[in-house]
Chain A
């Protein structure tokens, strides 16, 4: 079985390797110090299992998982993270709180071996909101990973199974729901103005009436975003008018 360890502390990776020596079939194919390396190594090796730290440079463990189309089985290893425990209980094989014992480690591995045939959820969906996800969205453009700060996002648009994220430099696609972003991001900055649109109010310049009772929002870069009636009144209350 192929295993990848992703943790930014070398000693933390070391102890996992040490504990793994008691499993003859385990083979550590890669060790990574951050999420970028992690994504690359996972694409290259297609591991059966990854050990994943949460707090890591640039992108955290959750954000790294979001970038994978077919995430492998995950065992989280983390020191202390109130958000994490809640978030990954639903999806991970197990989570190990550092420092953990060989016994606890073995239990996690056995859990994985017993669950091996059970299919895993395709990706971490709406529940996995980490503290960082309020301020940034991690997206993939071709082979590049982009950490997009929310202030650069103009609006979100529903796009079949994806959400189209319109930013200053262009748009990105992400396999999430509109509701996820509406719930995760700051409600005073991002307003669901329409079933298919979530708008950054800081990009708004004008609200113009359309025929009948309808309105449209005009953004700084000239884009027009339709407002539903409910969305229009929600926007008005956020803007305080």
Chain B
């Protein structure tokens, strides 16, 4: 019963509404001296007729969007329905009542009845219209929300680090070189590259991982890069024990490292040290990546470059904050600092 009431609350509401009006009508008629039987018959018939016409009206209104032209149609329709309703009423009441005085009363109140019925129908129409409009709006809102969510997902997965083809092909070239001179090392590098690729493919952009896991993944990447660039590349990765257990979005750091290595290796000649440090600072995990660069060739405006732009966007989509990535140039050291709030 409860379920029925809940699901069909419109029906329940409408019945209550018409019941209320028939009570009012009954009271008015009785107080003006109309006989009880005729009063009941009259109010009941009016209510049923109005209920039927109201239903017709609401159904019709559902298929009309509110507009000036449609409003005119609705007006005409309501007038026609009101007229029909009154004629039917007259016919039924005359047929079932033999009271002379009451018969006269019907005739004299016909104009009033018509206006009342017409107003009731119009009200139903407007109410139906508003109802349809609100429902439509709700549906639209739901669709918008869904679309926004989908877009966010798509953007996030788009921003998730895509492995640079450069990296893959150069790594394969290194493996090809090693296969001739050092098959053991070649095999090891194939394993590292496979593990790295697997790790990149299976993680989704929402997933939070511990810094320990992210570092393990990063180490694979760094090891491969070290084989490629030989003694030119040195990395120092340090972290607090507490920081290692903190969570961060998966695959967030690798593009930062990639950026650092790219700038370090292509902007300077000679050996390059990349430093990664992680610590905890007031409920935030803070990861700092440093690389050398050449102040003379770097652009004066501190453009943070695509790699870092996409990280910033990703952080702002995940945490709704824009201040989580900071870059800093100090003489010939470029520092990228990332803060990851811990929930």
Contacts and interface: CB of A to CB of B under 8 A. Distances in A.
Nearest to A149: B297
Nearest to B174: A11
Interface in A1-42: 8-12, 14-15, 18, 33-34, 36
Given A14-B177, A58-B297, A8 B265 contact: yes
A36 B232 CA distance: 16
Nearest to A82: B165
B299 interface: yes
Given A8-B229, A149-B297, A15 B269 contact: no
B86 interface: no
Given A80-B169, A135-B299, A11 B227 contact: yes
A212 interface: no
A11 B300 CA distance: 35
A55 B266 contact: yes
Contacts of A170: none
Contacts of B296: 147, 149
B166 interface: yes
B268 A99 contact: no
A151 B296 CA distance: 11
B181 A18 contact: yes
Given A10-B230, A11-B178, A79 B269 contact: no
> What does DSSP make chain B's interface, helix, strand, loop or mixed?
helix
B329 interface: no
Contact of B177 (A15, A34, A79, A135): A15
A57 interface: yes
A149 B299 contact: yes
A33 B269 contact: yes
B173 A98 contact: yes
A11 B266 CA distance: 17
Interface string A135-163: 11000000000010101000000000000
B144 interface: no
Interface residues of A, number: 26
Most B Cβ at <10 Å: residue of A34, A79, A135, A136: A79
A154 to B, nearest CB: 15
B299 A57 contact: no
B267 interface: yes
Contact of A99 (B165, B175, B229): B175
Nearest to A53: B170
A147 to B, nearest CB: 5
A58 B170 contact: no
A80 B164 CA distance: 10
Contact of B181 (A14, A97, A147): A14
B176 interface: yes
B107 interface: no
A56 interface: yes
A136 B239 CA distance: 38
A135 B228 CA distance: 27
Contact of B269 (A9, A18, A57): A57
Given A58-B267, A149-B297, 4 more contacts: A18-B180, A57-B265, A99-B169, A147-B297
30 contacts: A9-B174, A9-B228, A9-B229, A10-B229, A11-B177, A11-B228, A11-B230, A12-B173, A12-B177, A14-B177, A15-B176, A33-B232, A55-B266, A58-B266, A58-B267, A58-B268, A79-B165, A79-B169, A79-B170, A80-B165, A80-B166, A80-B169, A97-B169, A98-B169, A99-B175, A99-B176, A100-B173, A147-B297, A149-B299, A151-B299
4 cross-chain pairs, A with B, having the tightest CB-CB distances, nearest first: A79-B169, A98-B173, A15-B177, A99-B176
Interface of A: 8-12, 14-15, 18, 33-34, 36, 55-58, 79-80, 97-100, 135-136, 147, 149, 151
